[in-house]
């Protein structure tokens, strides 16, 4: 199973952050265009600033976003970054992608939150028209911010549901910020029939996975620490709750993995838990989705049938209409039966 073959196989990506997946060239170009008073100090090595390193804490990893978010404060920049992400994904035959970001972080240049969502959605539309990739947005609230802010994001998701937005997410620092803090925002999303996925158990805190399930999350972002809570792990397996696994970033921030073979994803896979593979942040982790598949195949000696199962798990877990899922399944199955 070659990397070239993995690149050609139709794939889906459910967990990728817009502000973590700029092209490095684009980031540096947008940084140069910042007005004088907003430019980064000359002493800052911008290339290093957005490359957190091989390992570290989640909090350290998240610091890089201050730089990328700073250059994404205009409609043009947001649309461009979304379009280029669609282009990059389509180039490796990602046929469906859900792109997440927090719109409230992109209003420093005078845009309203609605303007922000519309700009990113326009980039996704252009990407669909140019490359045939199905693309939707997940609007993200931040665990370390107020419930009023998270409710504003949930309201935006409700307003733009079916207009470029496919779901609601909760992300940010884990320690000290359980998802239950934002219960009202999550309930608002549910009441508006907006699908919910929540980051939980990424770099600590397996108890947050249980909370996410209790709050009605349809998917779990990461869930790396699930094995630390056997009863919750069994619940996830029994109810076949999909996990959005991001191997490279998980390796960077987990605190216990030394290489890909240490990732518990194979344990979850063998338990029958739907595993999806994703990049999380293509810039910060310096990966594409093909890289992630290749690393996992190599680490666990996966067969083609295993890869097909993972891709189809992503299709089934997608926040997309059944008509789109049916088409995606047909594409995936045809590719795997072509040889």
> SS3 sequence, 136-150?
EEEEEEECCCCHHHH
Total residues found in the chain within this entry: 339
Does the pTM exceed 0.85? yes
Per the structure, the complete domain to which residue 170 belongs is given by: 3-336
From the list 202, 233, 244, 292, the catalytic residue is: 202
Q: Which two tokens stand for residue 114?
A: 């609605």
Give the domain CATH number at 56.
3.20.20.140
Sequence-separated contacts (24+) of 253-258 with Cβ below 8 Å: 253/55, 253/56, 253/57, 253/58, 253/60, 253/61, 253/202, 253/203, 254/202, 254/203, 254/224, 255/57, 255/203, 255/204
Interatomic CA distance for residues 98 and 101, integer angstroms:
10
**Is 37 designated active site?**
no
The span from the CA of 144 to the CA of 178, in Å, is 9
Using the Cα atoms of residue 205, residue 209, residue 214 and residue 215 in order, give the sign of their dihedral: positive
Cα four-point dihedral sign 208, 210, 216, 221: positive
Q: What is the DSSP string of 300-318?
A: HT--HHHHHHHHHHHHHHS
Cβ partners under 8 Å of residue 280, min gap 6: 15, 16, 17, 20, 246, 248, 249, 250
Tokens 């999806």 belong to residue: 276
pLDDT in tens, the chain (339 residues): 799 999 999 999 999 999 999 999 999 999 999 888 888 888 888 888 888 776 667 778 788 889 999 999 999 999 999 999 999 999 999 999 999 999 999 999 999 999 999 999 999 999 999 999 999 999 999 999 999 999 999 999 999 999 999 999 999 989 999 999 999 999 999 999 999 999 999 989 999 999 999 999 999 999 999 999 999 999 999 999 999 999 999 999 888 899 999 999 999 999 999 999 999 999 999 999 999 999 999 999 999 999 999 999 999 999 999 999 999 999 999 999 876
Q: Based on the structure, what is the number of domains in the chain?
A: 1
């Amino acid at each position: 199973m070659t990397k070239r073959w993995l690149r050609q196989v139709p794939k889906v990506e459910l967990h990728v952050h817009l502000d973590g997946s700029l092209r490095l060239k684009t980031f540096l170009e947008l940084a140069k265009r910042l007005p004088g008073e907003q430019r980064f100090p000359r002493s800052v090595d911008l290339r290093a600033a957005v490359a957190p390193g091989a390992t570290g804490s989640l909090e350290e990893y998240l610091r890089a976003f201050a730089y990328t978010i700073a250059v994404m404060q205009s409609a043009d920049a947001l649309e461009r970054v979304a379009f280029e992400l669609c282009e990059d994904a389509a180039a490796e035959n990602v046929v469906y992608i859900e792109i997440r970001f927090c719109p409230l972080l992109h209003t420093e240049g005078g845009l309203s939150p609605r303007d922000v969502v519309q700009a990113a959605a326009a980039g996704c539309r252009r990407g669909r028209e140019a490359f045939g990739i199905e693309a939707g947005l997940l609007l993200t609230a931040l665990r370390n911010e107020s419930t009023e802010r998270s409710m504003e994001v949930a309201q935006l998701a409700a307003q733009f549901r079916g207009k470029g937005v496919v779901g609601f997410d909760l992300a940010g620092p884990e320690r000290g910020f359980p998802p239950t803090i934002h219960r009202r925002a999550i309930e608002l999303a549910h009441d508006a029939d907006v699908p919910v996925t929540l980051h939980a158990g990424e770099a600590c805190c397996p108890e947050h996975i249980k909370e996410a399930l209790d709050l009605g999350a349809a998917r779990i972002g990461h869930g790396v620490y699930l094995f630390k809570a056997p009863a919750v792990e069994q619940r996830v397996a029994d109810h076949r709750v999909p996990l959005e696994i991001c191997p490279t970033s998980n390796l960077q921030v987990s605190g216990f993995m030394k290489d890909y073979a240490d990732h518990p994803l194979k344990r979850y896979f063998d338990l029958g838990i739907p595993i999806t593979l994703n990049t999380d942040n293509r810039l910060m982790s310096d990966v594409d989705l093909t890289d992630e598949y290749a690393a996992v195949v190599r680490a666990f000696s996966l067969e083609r049938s295993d890869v097909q199962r993972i891709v189809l798990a992503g299709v089934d877990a997608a926040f997309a209409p059944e008509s789109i899922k049916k088409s995606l399944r047909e594409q995936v199955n045809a590719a795997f039966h072509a040889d």
